[in-house]
Amino acid sequence: MDGRAQGEIIEVNGRVINRGGDAVGGARLVVWQANSFGKYAHPNDSNPAPLDPNFVGFAELFSAHDGGYCFKTVKPGAYPAGVDRVRPPHIHFEVQGKFDRLITQMYFPGEPLNASDPVLLSANDPNLLIARPLASEDGASHRQFTFDIVLMRG
């Protein structure tokens, strides 16, 4: 091991805003996900996929004054969720603003498993839970996605 998590490195950025479009600065974001093999670093994960000793699986960060946030991670893998179901790659977010708390998931565009995921399909507008790819900057060594998080009041 070279000390780096295995898998495709990605960058996720976005803004935490309220329904009026105002920035929510200082929002606490707790982010967690499976590793590139689809395994969570949690003792209750029964998936036989391997753990990655260089992947922590969660982080805590705070939105900037303009509501912006950004982090690098590995793209999570799909994983079994029962006998006949596989969850698509996704990242979990718990967001605590000044007034509101939201737990949500961010999905990746173009994933075939999105079309059959009951969690994604239960959303009023599933498209709001799918990150948008950003055009790659010259020399960027990883893909970038943007995912804005909207809280009711902030």
Which H, E and C letters describe 7-70, residue by residue? CCEEEEEEEEEECCCCECCCCEEEEEECCCCCCCCCCCCCCCCCCCCCCCCEEEEECCCCCEEE
Of 15, 40, 132, 142, which one is the catalytic site residue? 40
92 included as an active-site residue: yes
Catalytic residue among 19, 92, 142, 143: 92
Catalytic residue, candidates 87, 101, 132, 153? 87
Which of these is catalytic: 90, 101, 132, 142? Answer: 90
Nearest to 81 by CA among 52, 105, 46, 55: 46
Find the catalytic residue in 79, 101, 132, 142.
79
Interior angle at CA 28, CA 22 and CA 29, nearest 5: 100
40 is catalytic: yes
Tokens standing for residue 12: 């996720």
Q: Which residues are marked as active site?
A: 40, 79, 87, 90, 92
